[in-house]
Amino acid sequence: MKKEFIVARIEASQDGSPYVYVTFNDPKDYKADRPMSPFGPNAMAFSSIEDMMKNMPKVMANLPGMLGGGMTDSPVLKMSMKEYQDMSIKVGDKVSLEIQKIETSGV
């Protein structure tokens, strides 16, 4: 299977290790001129505390995603700094990912 993606975000490892996390988006969903929310795509806005309290069950259901621990629709690859530098990709680049099943026998 081979699929095209757009590089949406590149982040350094939070623990200081020499890795980079590259997030990919589907080209149909990616909009370069749309600013990314600093709170993530699942952040919710409320006009008042009453509005927030009324929607508390929805807020609690989305809490793992809002904190960055939930599953995302976008593939994320962890790569070493050398791999990242060798690829010389940047946000907005179009890339393709290929997945192949490897057949093993006799094990």
Q: How would residue 83 be classed by pLDDT, with cut points 50, 70 and 90?
A: very high
Locate tokens 């946000």: which residue?
Answer: 91
Could you tell me the two tokens for 29? 């969903």
What is the pTM for the complete model shown?
A: 0.58
- Which residues, 6+ apart, have CB-to-CB distance to 83 below 8 Å? none
Q: Does domain 2-98 have CATH number 2.60.120?
A: no
Give the type of residue at 89. Answer: I
3-state secondary structure 34-95: CCCCCCCCCCCCCCCHHHHHHCHHHHHHHHHHHCCCCCCCCCEEEEEHHHHHHHCCCCCCEE
Q: What is the pLDDT of residue 87?
A: 93
5-22 residue pLDDT tens: 999 989 998 888 899 999
**Where are the chain's structural domains?**
2-98
Q: What is the pLDDT of residue 29?
A: 75
33-82 residue pLDDT tens: 555 555 555 555 666 777 767 777 766 665 554 444 444 578 899 999 99
Instruction: Select from 11, 50, 9, 46 the least CA-distant residue to 30.
Output: 9
* Distance from C-alpha of 96 to C-alpha of 82, rounded to nearest angstrom: 19
